[in-house]
Amino acid sequence: DEVAKLLELKAQLGDDPGKGKFVLKCPKGTKDYNPEQMSIREGAFKTIISCFKRHGAETIDTPVFELRETLKGKYGEDSKLIYDLQDQGGELLSLRYDLTVPFARYLAMNKITNIKRYHIAKVYRRDNPAMTRGRFREFYQCDFDIAGQYDAMIPDAECVKLVVEILTKLELGDFVVKVNHRKLLDGMFAACGVPDDKFRTICSSVDKLDKTFWDDVRSEMIDEKKLDPAAADRIGTYVKLKGGLDLIEALLTDEDLKKQKAAVEGLEDLKLLLKYCDLFGILDKVSFDLSLARGLDYYTGVIYEAVLQGFAHNPSAGSDEGECQCRQCGWWWKIRWSGWVFSILESRANSSNVKTRTTDTEVFVVSAHNGLLEARMKLCNELWDADIKTEQSYKKNPKSLSQFQYCESSGIPIAVIIGSSELEKNIVKLRIVETREEVEVPREKMVDEIRSTLARLSQQKTQNNASGS
């Protein structure tokens, strides 16, 4: 019978019967979000957005595709990963590859130079992602950007604060925000004797240190990139360093570094950043790490990156998409989150025994016997009009058992039960689904009683969670 209904549906959708078959898959690298996954995703978005809003951010949205010309030349090598739309006449279009270029187009088009906005939307990359690690061809980016001409390290410190707030609220476990500075890296390379024209390529070798061993990075520098082994070894001593204010002070007295203007400027910036982080009460979450060398193509200032500790889906094992990254480029500060957050939250939900609720339904109206449809409808209407989230069976004469089973399987906290005796006495029976405890309540007190019961149940749950953790 189910198959018959699906065939019917298929026919209703206009598919010629007998001609081909309905393709039952998502495109490669994409997935559906089922109600459980949506529940997790919406919970995470709510947390992230509330943090963005706590810091006064607005939000904007842009189309899913842009003129191909707008994206052209913005992504270097990765341009081949852009999805182009077919030329069907008119403009040539491509799906957005990230939210940065559309944001830049938006700013330029509207001549905006000051804005603090977030944008949460899907982006598209024709990559061959490791879907088991939560990476996809269609995935969310959550970008928070501050654009404007501001004073040194003030927006930077707020970005770090925001990252700490979000990771704390998401309860993803212990984490650290690594920070470094583009100018310090440049100064360090100069101090180590790296020729100017090799800065970028050597930097991209250093970038691999979170995934590979120093020896391999060293070999790459020397064998592939023809760096003087002495320079490589000097880099090696620096990039192993991590710490806090002490390390900054020590490096400011380093004989080689202090001759490099860029290095000193970078260190002074970092010193100020750490001071502001201290004022924001987050110094213990920040680690100055000289091996952090991400995203150096067009970033000019502080770079930072949040790394979760001790989690199987360690994002730092992934690629660019796997991190929460913050960068400063001139007058632009950026925080970017990607889909890995959801992968982590999903796998945690799967491994716990607690069922994720997919509806917010508070009350299910149960009829104790046949012939009560109209009474149920009136009752539902009362509850809806009182803004109580209410469901009932769409069958005329549902079985009692199946009604209670539905409450249990979908986690509805309260059943309101009516039968002819309740109707006669003008009462309802309220049942707490979990404990099966029942009370009789006069009809005119029903709404109030439901509200106070819901409040009590929610309080109990909060207390249980608190004592359980």
- Nearer to its own copies among residue 233 and residue 382 (C-beta): 382
Indicate which single residue of 18, 27, 310, 468 sits in contact with its own copies (rule: CB under 8 A): 27
- φ and ψ at 432, to 5 degrees? -75, 115
Residues 279-308 that bind its own copies (CB under 8 A): 279-281, 297-298
In the block, which residue shows the tokens 């996809």?
136
Is the CB of residue 235 less than 8 Å from the CB of residue 194?
yes
Amino acid at 340: W
Instruction: Give the footprint of its own copies on residues 3-22 (CB under 8 A).
Output: 5-6, 8-16, 19-20, 22
Q: Are 205 and 296 in contact (CB under 8 A)?
A: no
Query: Which listed residue (44, 143, 144, 158) binds its own copies by CB under 8 A?
Result: 158
Stretch that binds its own copies, among 107-115, 225-233, 241-249, 255-263 (CB under 8 A): 107-115
Binding track, positions 243-282, relative to its own copies; x by CB under 8 A? ---------------------------------x--xxx-
Quote the least distance from Cβ 216 to its own copies, whole Å.
29
Residue with tokens 């009809």: 443
How many other C-beta atoms are found inside a 10 Å radius of the C-beta of residue 240? Answer: 12
Exactly one of 129, 134, 155, 339 binds its own copies (CB under 8 A); that residue is: 155
Burial of 425 by CB count in 10 Å (0-12 exposed, 13-18 middle, 19+ buried)?
A: exposed
- Shortest Å, Cβ 256 to its own copies: 30
Residues in 75-94 that interact with its own copies by CB under 8 A: 75-76, 83-88, 90-91, 93
SS3 355: coil
- Give the nearest distance from C-beta 233 to its own copies in angstroms: 33
Contact 324, 336 (CB under 8 A): yes
Interface of this chain with its own copies, residues 338 to 367, rule: CB under 8 A: 358-361
171 binds its own copies (CB under 8 A): no
Nearer to its own copies, 19 or 435 (CB): 19
Nearer to its own copies, 138 or 254 (CB): 138
Listed residue (378, 373, 381, 376) closest to 365, CA to CA: 376
Beta-bridge partner residues of 59: 118
**Does residue 148 touch its own copies according to CB under 8 A?**
yes
| Residue 327 binds to its own copies (criterion: CB under 8 A) | no
In the complex with its own copies, which residue's Cβ is closer, 182 or 234?
182
Task: Work out which of 43, 45, 62, 429 binds its own copies, going by CB under 8 A.
Answer: 62
Q: Does 32 bind its own copies (CB under 8 A)?
A: yes
- Of 422, 421, 404, which Cα lies nearest the Cα of 365? 404
Residues 6+ apart with CB under 8 A from 221: 202, 205, 227, 232, 235
415 vs 366: CA distance, rounded Å? 6
What residues between 362 and 421 interact with its own copies by CB under 8 A? 373-374, 377-378, 380-381, 384-385, 387-391, 394-396
Pairing of strands 414-418, 363-367: parallel
Shortest approach of its own copies to residue 11 CB, angstroms? 8
Cβ partners under 8 Å of residue 339, min gap 6 = 134, 135, 136, 139, 140, 321
CA distance 302 to 177: 12
Shortest Å, Cβ 24 to its own copies: 4
**Residue 328 structure tokens:** 């400063």
Sign of the alpha-carbon dihedral angle for 12, 14, 16, 22: negative
Q: Taking the complex as a whole, how short is the minimal distance between the CB of residue 312 and its own copies, in angstroms?
A: 25
242: closest CA among 290, 184, 188?
290
Question: Could you tell me how many residues of this chain bind its own copies (CB under 8 A)?
Answer: 120
DSSP H or E stretch at residue 345: helix 340-351
Stretch of 47-55, 176-184, 210-218, 448-456 contacting its own copies, by CB under 8 A? 47-55
Interface stretch with its own copies, choices 96-104, 194-202, 313-321, 456-464 (CB under 8 A): 96-104
Q: Which of residues 181-200 bind its own copies (CB under 8 A)?
A: none
Q: With respect to its own copies, which residue has the nearer C-beta, 73 or 468?
A: 73
| Contacting range for its own copies; rule: CB under 8 A; set: 149-157, 198-206, 335-343, 450-458 | 149-157
